[in-house]
Structure 1
Amino acid sequence: MAVFPRPAHPRAVIADVRRLWSTSTRRYKLVFGAAAIGVTSLLITIFILESRWGVLPEGPQVVYVSDWPVTRTDAEIKAQQRIDATEKRKLADERRRQWQKVDRNLDRLGF
Structure 2
Amino acid sequence: MHLKRFQDAQPYVAPNHFECHGLRLQGFEEGGPTNQWIGFSQFLPGGGAGPDSTPFEKVYVMLEGEMTVIVDDVETVMGKYDSCTIPAGEVRKIENRSNETAKMLVVIPYPPET
User: What range describes the TM-score normalised by the shorter chain of this pair?
Assistant: under 0.3
Q: Which has the higher contact order (CA 8 A, sep 6+)?
A: 2
TM-score of the pair, normalised by structure 1: 0.17
Q: Which has the larger radius of gyration?
A: 1
Greater fraction of residues in strand: 2
Q: What's the TM-score, normalizing by structure 2?
A: 0.17
